[in-house]
Structure 1
Amino acid sequence: KRAKVSTDIQREPSPSPKNPCPICLGDLLDPDTKVEATPCAHLFCSDCLDRALKVRSMCPVCREPLEDLQQNINETFSENEEEVQLSENDF
Structure 2
Amino acid sequence: MPLATRAAREPLHAYTCPICLAPPTNATLTPCGHILCGECLFTAVNAAVMRTGITGLGARCPVCRASIPGWDGRGGGVIGLQPRIMISL
- Tell me the percent identity: 35
SS at match of 1:22: coil
User: Where do 1:46-85 residues align within 5 Å?
Assistant: 46-56=38-48, 57-68=59-70, 70-71=71-72, 73=74
Aligned residue pairs total 54
Please identify runs of 4+ aligned residues in structure 1 that moved more than 4 A: none
TM-score (norm 1): 0.51
Q: What CA RMSD, in Å, does the superposition of the two structures yield over aligned residues? A: 2.2
Q: CA deviation at 1:73?
A: 2.0
Pick the aligned partner of 1:40 from 14, 21, 32. 32
Q: CA deviation at 1:71?
A: 1.0
SS at match of 1:48: helix
Alpha-carbon separation, structure 2, partners of 1:50 and 1:73:
8
Name the structure 2 match of 1:19. Answer: 15
Alpha-carbon separation, structure 2, partners of 1:22 and 1:72:
20
TM-score (norm 2): 0.52
SS at match of 2:61: coil
Counterpart amino acid of residue 72 in structure 2 = Q
